[in-house]
Amino acid sequence: MTDILMPALSPTMEEGVLAKWHVKVGDIVSAGDVIAEIETDKATMEVEAVDEGEVTDILVAEGTEGVKVNTPIARLKDEGGAAAPAPTAKTEEAPKAEAAPAKAEAPKAAAPATPASAAPKSDSGERIFSSPLARRIAAQNGVDLKSIKGTGPHGRIVRRDVEAAPKGAVQPAASTAPAAAISGIAPRQAPSLAQMGIPDGSYDLIPLDGMKKAVARRMVDSIQNVPHFPLFIDVEIDQLMAVRAKVNKMLEPQGIKVSVNDFVIKAAALALKMVPEANASYTPEGIAMHHNADVSMAVAIDGGLITPIIKKAETKGLAQIATESKDLAKRARERKLKPEEFQGGTFSVSNLGMFGIKQFTSIINEPQGCIMSVGAGEQRPVVKDGQLAVATVMTVTLTCDHRVVDGATGARFLQAFKPLIEDPVAMLA
């Protein structure tokens, strides 16, 4: 018997919702069969089997929330010694919650689940994909999984790979001591509302879903761990609005409409190529200088925020950026994005101008080095050639990770960005 574990389907996932089972006890599954649907902090994923075997127990019921990564969710009977199906995933539309979730099959007392070890990681921090059975055999035989090339589906390490590997390369044992005990610092416990003077029963409590928890965790990590600072600049957008009107008139027969944000994404991408030091990420090993400007755009969705990516934005025209951004935003709100469409990115743009917000500062989206906050365009008094005039002005804020982008580099980026926005004809070439 081998346990099927709750998979980690995104870098930020610590727990998920087991939304739906596609198999039942007694079913025989083969590689590629969809066995379950898991709701992560960003999307709903279909989990596929990568090997075959008989499902003997369902350990977690449909609709169960807060299922921790690497928790056993089902049990598989090995077919001819084969490893259990390990999950892979693809994005699908989020299913509606069942009114009455099916009850899980109770695990048999005679065969209690054996806790499976968490998936190991390589020296670079990347997860090593291996089946639970392969991990157990590796631990028993003193085999280092980092030295093995998997021959299973999608390069996964399976039983036969471990049995064929040279023995003796024992992995260092993981410490079981809690982080707080190692550091000597107890984790901070937030006081309850009652302790802060707000009595119980005077409010309605809305439970945190996976996305809210993930956003809260990532934002706290970013604000605590990243030494950040903002830079502000005003740009005049009268010419941009005039060019946008002409471009949209030309594109109207194709059903394409370019937004101000599309101009901002294009200008940011071009400015990143002019000042490549701003298109970078901090790592403990050094500063990663990215080859392309993969611009993440903040999209508000029910229950949180997601940042789909316009990849290689510097190589794309405004019409293509407009088409992609509209499609990504639509599928983001439907929770149909694939992981590679919202994970990664080298620079972010957050635009609250449509809500009338004049100026704001965003929290850096790690591991990116910068995020740009775009406010509303409004008519303001300006001085031109010593004369008072009126112009449509938009305030832009660049928040920088000081480990990567210092003040001078951030200023040079904004100096490259400003003329592209104020004279956008250059972006049409």
Q: Which of 165-169, 194-198, 288-292, 337-341 has the highest mean pLDDT?
A: 288-292
**Orientation angle between helical segments 318-333 and 260-274, nearest 10 degrees:** 110
Other beta carbons within 10 Å of 207: 8
Residue extent(s) of CATH 2.40.50.100 domains in the chain: 2-116
In terms of CATH architecture, what is 2-116?
Answer: Beta Barrel (2.40)
Residues of the chain with CATH 3.30.559.10: 211-428
One-letter amino acid at 415 equals Q
211-428: what fold?
Answer: Chloramphenicol Acetyltransferase (3.30.559)
> What pLDDT score does 137 carry?
74
Tens digit of each residue's pLDDT (9 = 90 or more) over 378-402: 999 999 999 999 999 999 999 999 9
Is 402 catalytic? The answer is yes
Instruction: Give yes or no for residue 94 having a pLDDT over 90.
Output: no
Three-class DSSP labels, the chain: CEEEECCCCCCCCCEEEEEEECCCCCCEECCCCEEEEEECCCCEEEEECCCCEEEEEECCCCCEEEEECCCEEEEEEECCCCCCCCCEEEEECCCCCCCCCCCCCCCCCCCCCCCCCCCCECCCCCECCECHHHHHHHHHHCCCHHHCCCCCHHHCECHHHHHHCCCCCCCCCCCCCCHHHHHCCCCCCCCCCCCCCCCCCCCCCCCCCHHHHHHHHHHHHHHHHCCEEEEEEEEECHHHHHHHHHHHHHHHHHCCCCCHHHHHHHHHHHHHHHCHHHCEEEECCEEEECCCCCEEECEEECCEEECCEECCHHHCCHHHHHHHHHHHHHHHHCCCCCHHHHCCCCEEEEECHHHCCCCCCCCCCCCECEEEEEEEEEEEEEEECCEEEEEEEEEEEEEEECCCCCHHHHHHHHHHHHHHHHCHHHHHC
pLDDT in tens, 123-132: 555 567 777 6
Instruction: Using pLDDT thresholds of 50, 70 and 90, give the confidence band for residue 87.
Output: low
User: How do residues 261-279 score in pLDDT, each as one tens digit?
Assistant: 999 999 999 999 999 999 9
